[in-house]
């Protein structure tokens, strides 16, 4: 995977995570958040959402910033 593609993917993952955190409360299941709020904007599966939530996005983005400097 090229550097630019991976960087843009991480930015998209960050947007998806922010959208998830915006609507996540204790009583709303992840599947409802995915179906109502994330899927209409970013058509991803539940497995992809779980992958996004488990990636350390900020750490990976800092790697790109240090490589670019």
- Whole-number Å distance between alpha carbons of 22 and 18: 6
| DSSP character string of 1-52 | --HHHHHHHHHHHHHHHHHHHHH--TTS-HHHHIIIIITTTS---HHHHHHH
Name the residue with higher pLDDT: 3 or 65. 65
Q: Give 68 or 11, the one with higher predicted confidence.
A: 11
The CA angle 58-54-32, to the nearest 5 degrees, is 115
**How confident is the model at residue 2, as a pLDDT?**
62
Look at residue 4 in the predicted model and tell me its pLDDT. Answer: 67
Cα atoms found within 13 Å of the Cα of residue 39, Cβ hemisphere only: 10
């Amino acid at each position: 995977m090229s550097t630019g593609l991976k960087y843009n993917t991480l930015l998209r993952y960050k947007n998806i995570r922010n959208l998830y955190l915006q609507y996540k409360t204790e009583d709303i299941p992840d599947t409802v958040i995915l179906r109502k709020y994330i899927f209409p904007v970013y058509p991803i599966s539940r497995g992809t959402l779980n992958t996004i939530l488990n990636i350390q996005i900020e750490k990976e983005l800092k790697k790109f910033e240090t490589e670019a400097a």
